[in-house]
Structure 1
Amino acid sequence: MADTIMIANSLGDYLRARRALVAPAEAGLPTTGRRRVPGLRREEVAELVGLSTDYYVRLEQGRAEHPSDEVLDALSRALRLGSAERAHLHDLARPPRRAGAAAAVTGRGEALRPALRQVVEAVPNAPAVIMNDRNDVLAWNRLAAALIADFPNLAPRERNMARRIFLDPDARDIHLDWDEAARTTVGMLRMAAGRRPHDPELVRLIGELSLGSDTFRKLWAGHHVHEKTHGPKHFRHPAVGEVMLNYETFQVPGAAHHLLVIYTAQPGSAAEEALNFLASFACR
């Protein structure tokens, strides 16, 4: 099921989803007359990009192979795609061959260098984790385990933030920004699926979440993509209450899809006091 969800004409599905989001006025087109579809018509996209309608229709139907970078960039402009959406479009247009996909996934290597674990554990006053683009948490410090989840005592498959967001019944109590967290989590998985549509662990994860969460299925159908960079994060902890933090994301050298995420509090804030309180117990 998940394999079908991820790779069945993904490029066409994405183009249809994105053109439905662009109002004609945004593209400089007249808005008069009755429109049977939301957003742009196929012929309008073709005109904006400088393609024949027939070729664009074949793109959406999965019958046009290897569109050029110039065509993809023109589509990105016409559909008003940001940097993450543009990268995703290029990924979908250049899917890896199934024969080489397993080797590519195996070769990525999920095991972290011991020094990287030491780096995360050495962060003293801020929760810090290393995660991959499947949302598996691969390393954490004591403060992250105290605030986010008890990672040391979880089974490896449960150290996955997508599972925790969508399948943990307490997730909405822990993540007070649950709606945004859910949307961005799905967006990260969409990006990963575009890069590696045959990744067996990712396929299993998407299938599990699709079967276990109506919300996940609806968000997945929206084709939103997200690249984790920085932003606010709002937790609730049973011992310290609400904790408002900001996170910054750093690419791990030598591991293309591994991210170091560090959560910080404003100096002098209640959140900083809460982290200091948690740290006093976590370091015992």
Structure 2
Amino acid sequence: MNKSVRLGEFLQIRRSLLQPADVGLPDFGERRRVPGLRRDELAQLAGVSLSYYTRLEQGVSLNASPEVLDALARALGLDEVEQAHLHDLAHATRRGSKRRRLAPEHTDDATRQLLGAFGDAPAVVLGRRSDVLAWNRTGHALFAGHLDPQIPDQPDRRPNMARLVFLDAHTRDLFVDWPRKARAVVGKLRLAAGQYPDDSTLAVLIGELAMKSAEFATMWSENRVRNWDMAAYRMRHPLVGRLDLNLQSLTIPQESGQRIVVATAEAGSGSQAALHLLARACAPLARRAGHSSEAAGPAPARTGTS
């Protein structure tokens, strides 16, 4: 999609979601031809001329200053994440046809060491498009135990969390409140589209999901963005049953756009016990045998030679 169209689309949709009463304007009860605020009302709130705002929404004006963007964000009632997204869209528009070369994504040794440091806590490394770049054993068992555990090491076959949430029945069934999870996924893809407008693979992913999932297409059209932070989800896992988990996202400083998502449960809860059970179930056989010996006490002394 044309970068100036993205900016104009975002402005138009967010404008349509506001009513005069939402922003302190008098509503005389007149019938409106289109939903939401009119262009002249938003321009007035932002302190810009109607002609300038119209050119901006139509993609004709490409050089909105940070001050104008901040004024529009305040008029639209955008939160901090949405305001940053607006600036990303405007920055992409100003760059015009200049494309930024994006390096292929991978996990370096330091990231893999960090992943291992989480021990039995489920952890997954996601890239800028939500591709799964790596996971630990419990992360694989929690989110995608039906997939080959080595598949993230194959760039052409890596699973993508957005694709799994919308197109994979196993993953969809994991989340009790699937629509809430799905909207969070779409909002994060919207955020990525603003941050990486030159990522053609991301554009292909969005197009694929819109074609294959009417639910994705509807949610995408809402033009909402979501930040990567902490979210609580109730899950139903085929091996260990119900889980109430916090999914926390940690940014990887040395790798742009990458983050580790870690699942935790309240201490002493049934969900924590279920995570321990899941970790035990997916542990290597030798490790499980070792734990069994420890639980049973010291082994008796052996005689003779092997």
- The answer to whether TM tops 0.5 is yes
In the other structure, the counterpart of 1:11 is 7
In the other structure, the counterpart of 2:165 is 165
Q: Distance in 2 between matches of 1:273 and 1:142?
A: 17
Letter paired with 1:121: G
User: Residue 142 of structure 1 contacts residue 282 of structure 1 at CA under 8 Å; is this kept in 2?
Assistant: yes
Q: Deviations over 1:69-109 (max 9, x none)?
A: 000000000000011110110011111444432x2x12xx4
Q: Distance in 2 between matches of 1:116 and 1:33?
A: 58
Q: Distance in 1 between matches of 2:56 and 2:142?
A: 46
Deviation of the 1:170 alpha carbon: 3.0
**After superposition, where does 1:1-284 map in structure 2 within 5 Å?**
4=1, 7=3, 9-34=5-30, 35-95=32-92, 96-101=95-100, 103=101, 105-106=102-103, 109-150=104-145, 152-154=149-151, 156=155, 157-284=157-284
After superposition, the Cα gap between the structure-2 partners of 1:129 and 1:153, relative to the gap in structure 1 and judged at 3 Å, is: same
Deviation of the 1:274 alpha carbon: 0.4
SS of aligned partner of 2:144: coil
Q: Deviations over 1:253-273 (max 9, x none)?
A: 112211111110001111011
Q: Distance in 2 between matches of 1:242 and 1:133?
A: 30
Gaps of 5+ in 2: 285-306
| Pairwise CA RMSD | 1.6
Deviation of the 1:153 alpha carbon: 4.6
User: Residue 122 of structure 1 contacts residue 141 of structure 1 at CA under 8 Å; is this kept in 2?
Assistant: no
Q: Deviations over 1:164-217 (max 9, x none)?
A: 011113333112221011111111111111122221210111121111111111
After superposition, the Cα gap between the structure-2 partners of 1:90 and 1:253, relative to the gap in structure 1 and judged at 3 Å, is: same
SS of aligned partner of 1:100: coil
Letter paired with 2:25: L
Q: Distance in 2 between matches of 1:29 and 1:243?
A: 46
Greater RCO (CA < 8 Å, at least 6 residues apart): 1
Q: Distance in 1 between matches of 2:142 and 2:99?
A: 40
Letter paired with 1:31: D
Q: Distance in 1 between matches of 2:235 and 2:143?
A: 8
Deviation of the 1:122 alpha carbon: 2.8
User: Residue 175 of structure 1 contacts residue 235 of structure 1 at CA under 8 Å; is this kept in 2?
Assistant: yes
User: Residue 129 of structure 2 contacts residue 202 of structure 2 at CA under 8 Å; is this kept in 1?
Assistant: yes
Q: Distance in 1 between matches of 2:137 and 2:113?
A: 12
SS of aligned partner of 2:169: coil
After superposition, the Cα gap between the structure-2 partners of 1:8 and 1:65, relative to the gap in structure 1 and judged at 3 Å, is: closer
User: Residue 171 of structure 1 contacts residue 178 of structure 1 at CA under 8 Å; is this kept in 2?
Assistant: no
SS of aligned partner of 1:148: helix
Q: Distance in 1 between matches of 2:53 and 2:110?
A: 49
Q: Distance in 2 between matches of 1:216 and 1:197?
A: 19
In the other structure, the counterpart of 2:288 is none
Deviation of the 1:121 alpha carbon: 2.3
TM-score (ref. length: structure 2): 0.86
SS of aligned partner of 2:124: strand
SS of aligned partner of 1:121: helix
**Identity fraction in percent:** 45
Q: Distance in 2 between matches of 1:8 and 1:219?
A: 21
SS of aligned partner of 2:99: helix
SS of aligned partner of 1:232: strand
Deviation of the 1:115 alpha carbon: 2.4
